Structure formats: C-alpha cells, structure tokens
C-alpha cells in the first residue's frame, strides 16, 4: 500500500491542486494534521520545485498553551528552513467560531497576496469533512451547506481532504514527528466535539462500522449535485437587473431559489444574513395574484414586483 506522501501526490494530480514551481502558504497550527502536511510538503518540495512559507495564528485564547503552540510552530519552521508569519489578533467583538475562522482565512490570504504566492494549503482531513457535514445536518443546512469542502477552492487547497485521521496519526508515529494537542478538542461540551467523541463512535458501533467513509462519499455526491444545480441557476439568472416572473415560475423550485439568491448576491456581493425565509418571501410575492405593485424589504434590499417583472435593487441603492 502506498504511503501517505504518495497518496497526497495522487490527490494533487487528481484534483490539479498545484503545478511545478508554485508558491504555497502552509497554514500550520501545530496540531497533528498540519504537522503532517508540513512534513509531506517538505518532501514534495524538491519534486515540484516549490517555494514554501508558514502562516500561524496565535489566538491567545488558551493561555500558555497558545504560546507553546506558537513556539512549537516557530521551531518547526526552523527545522524545515521556512519563513514564518504569525498573527496575534486583537478582538473587536464577541468571539465565535465563525469570527475566528474569518480572522484566520483573512490573514492567510493577506500573507499570500503580500508575498505573491499562488495557494494556501490547509490540513482538513476526511474526518473533518464528516464532522462538518453532521454538524450541518443537525443545524438544518440546505444542499449547499451539506456539500463537501472542496479539494481546491480558488486559492485554497486541501491536499489531505480524503485521508482519514487515523492514517495521518500513523504517519506521524512512523516518522517520529511531534505535534501539539489542543486540549479543548477533548471536551465534549462543544457540538463538534460531541459529534467526534460521541455521535460518530455510536454510529460506527450500532449502524455502520464504515460510517465515516460512507458519509464522506455522500458529501462528494451532494457536492456534485449542488454544482450542477448552481450552474443551471447561473445560466438562468442572466445579467439583467430585472427578472420576468413568468420565466422564474416556469423553473423547477430548486432552481427558482438559486436564481433569486444569485440576483441578491450580485447586489450585496455576498449572502451573509440572507436566509431561506427571505427567498421564500420573494417567491410568495412573485406568486401573488394581486394586480397592484408590491414590494419586499429586508436587510437593506428593496425588491419590487411590477406586472410580470421583479426589479432587483442596484448596488448604488443599497
């Protein structure tokens, strides 16, 4: 059986994650996944003629452990002969998992741009994918939320995404590589940890011993289905600032909602704080049999129905 380095090489080839002489920012927390990724890329560096640097975020939320994580990453950088960039964020609002994620990825992208690098490599693995999927099922996500994290998403690559956590740990042990453990990952008070420590073992024991791979495969299938629907919706959305209601209602309901979300995203640049209820409200107005002009207002948007047209607001009006 090929070792983990060979498997990662296969993933790089299969998903066209990088090419020779690319410049890669390695996101390294010091945990087992990123420590393994760092070692693997150090071995692939010569083969692909890569230029590598390390980015680390010290959130300073775990006291001395956070300081030790940073010290450990700096020692790894010295060991592998790579330059290191460290962020120590100053918090301006209530801290949440999403807020910390935004800080992290904004920093990685800043380092990538400032150094004129090609990609950011993060060390998500198969088990991360499964845990994320189950968390979103519990939360009630739609098709997009249930889709898989991608191996490649613009400037972000995930070379370990289809590798199980146990395989990564075995690689670390075999190569006598050190790594840091975030003790909070062992506390079951957090939803994600409950899924990892309780729900998945329960499913493995009582329903399917291969549940992790089964769910992972499902996320890939869902992602492919979502991509197809997204492409159809993008084609139907067009570039006009208005939308014919008769055309919209002739589409499949799944496409109707995506077309409306595309129109909103074109105005707001993103869909933050826009949920299914807002889209449903627009559809309700579109299906209304009232003859007079109607308006839906939410989140700074003003969408009008005039006859057979839905007029979408322009960026200037929002």
Q: What is the CATH number of the domain that holds 170?
A: 3.40.50.620
pLDDT band at 292 (very low <50, low <70, confident <90, very high): confident
Q: Is residue 303 located within the same domain as residue 188? A: no
Q: Is residue 66 located within the same domain as residue 133? A: yes
Q: pLDDT per residue over 184-204, tens digit each?
A: 777 777 788 999 999 999 999
Q: pLDDT per residue over 270-289, tens digit each?
A: 777 788 888 999 999 999 98
Instruction: Give the span between the Cα atoms of 60 and 91, in whole angstroms.
Output: 11
Q: Is residue 34 located within the same domain as residue 165? A: yes
Which secondary structure element, helix H or strand E, spans residue 243, and what is its range?
strand 242-244
DSSP letter (8 states) at residue 183: G
Residue 178 lies in a domain: yes
Residue 75 lies in a domain: yes
Beta strand 309-311 with 242-244 is antiparallel
- Between 80 and 254, residue with greater pLDDT: 80
In the chain, what percentage of residues exceed pLDDT 90? 71
Residue 103 has pLDDT above 80, yes or no: yes
In the chain, what percentage of residues exceed pLDDT 70? 96
Give this prediction's pTM: 0.86
**Sequential DSSP letters for 249-308:** HTS-HHHHHHHHHHHHHHHHSS-TT--HHHHHHHHHHHH----S-EEEEETTEEEEEETT
Question: Which residues are within 8 A (CB) of 265 and not within 5 positions of it... i.e. 6 or more apart?
Answer: 271
Q: pLDDT per residue over 157-188, tens digit each?
A: 999 999 999 999 999 999 999 999 988 777 77
Mean pLDDT of the chain: 91
Instruction: Give the span between the Cα atoms of 275 and 296, in whole angstroms.
Output: 14
CB atoms within 10 A of CB 172: 17
Residue 132 has pLDDT above 50, yes or no: yes
Q: Is residue 286 located within the same domain as residue 164? A: no
Instruction: Give the span between the Cα atoms of 126 and 272, in whole angstroms.
Output: 27
Q: Is residue 18 located within the same domain as residue 134? A: yes
Q: Is residue 52 located within the same domain as residue 152? A: yes
Which range of residues forms the domain containing residue 263? 238-317
Q: Is residue 201 located within the same domain as residue 283? A: no
Span of 10-14, 55-59, 231-235 with lowest mean pLDDT: 231-235
Residue 229 lies in a domain: no
Mean of pLDDT values over 18-38: 97
Q: What is the pLDDT of residue 313?
A: 66
Q: Is residue 251 located within the same domain as residue 121? A: no
Q: Is residue 152 located within the same domain as residue 22? A: yes
Q: What is the pLDDT of residue 239?
A: 61
Q: Is residue 243 located within the same domain as residue 313? A: yes
- Number of structural domains in the chain: 2
Q: pLDDT per residue over 33-89, tens digit each?
A: 999 999 999 999 999 999 999 999 999 988 999 999 999 999 999 999 999 999 999
Q: Is residue 72 located within the same domain as residue 140? A: yes
Instruction: Give the span between the Cα atoms of 127 and 141, in whole angstroms.
Output: 19
Residue 299 lies in a domain: yes
CATH number at residue 275: 3.30.465.60
Q: Which residues pair with 137 in a beta bridge?
A: none
């Amino acid at each position: 059986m090929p070792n983990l380095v060979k498997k990662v090489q296969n993933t790089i080839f299969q998903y066209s994650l990088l090419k020779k002489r690319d410049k890669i920012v390695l996101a390294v927390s010091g945990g087992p996944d990123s420590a393994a990724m760092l070692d693997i890329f150090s071995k692939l560096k010569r083969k692909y003629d890569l230029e590598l640097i390390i980015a680390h975020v010290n959130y300073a939320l775990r006291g001395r452990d956070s300081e030790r994580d940073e010290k450990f990453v700096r020692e790894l950088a010295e060991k592998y002969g790579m330059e290191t960039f460290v962020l120590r964020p100053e918090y301006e609002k209530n801290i949440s998992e999403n807020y910390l994620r935004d800080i992290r990825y904004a920093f990685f992208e800043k380092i990538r741009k400032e150094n004129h690098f090609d990609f950011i490599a993060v060390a998500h693995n198969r088990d991360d994918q499964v845990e994320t999927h189950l968390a979103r099922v519990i939360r009630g996500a739609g098709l997009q939320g249930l889709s898989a994290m991608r191996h490649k998403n613009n400037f972000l690559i995930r070379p370990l995404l289809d590798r199980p956590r146990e395989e990564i740990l075995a690689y670390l042990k075999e190569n006598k590589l050190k790594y840091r453990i975030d003790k909070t990952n062992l506390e079951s008070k957090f939803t994600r940890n409950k899924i990892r420590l309780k729900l998945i073992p329960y499913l493995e024991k009582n329903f399917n011993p291969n549940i992790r791979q089964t769910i992972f495969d499902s996320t890939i299938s869902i992602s492919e289905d979502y991509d197809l629907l997204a492409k159809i919706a993008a084609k139907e959305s067009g570039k006009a600032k208005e939308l014919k209601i008769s055309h919209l209602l002739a589409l499949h309901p799944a496409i109707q909602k995506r077309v409306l979300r595309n129109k909103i995203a074109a105005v707001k640049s993103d869909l933050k704080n826009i949920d299914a209820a807002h889209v449903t409200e627009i559809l309700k107005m579109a299906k209304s049999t009232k003859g007079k002009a109607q308006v839906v207002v939410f989140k700074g948007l003003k969408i009008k129905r005039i006859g057979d047209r839905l007029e979408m607001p322009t960026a200037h009006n929002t």
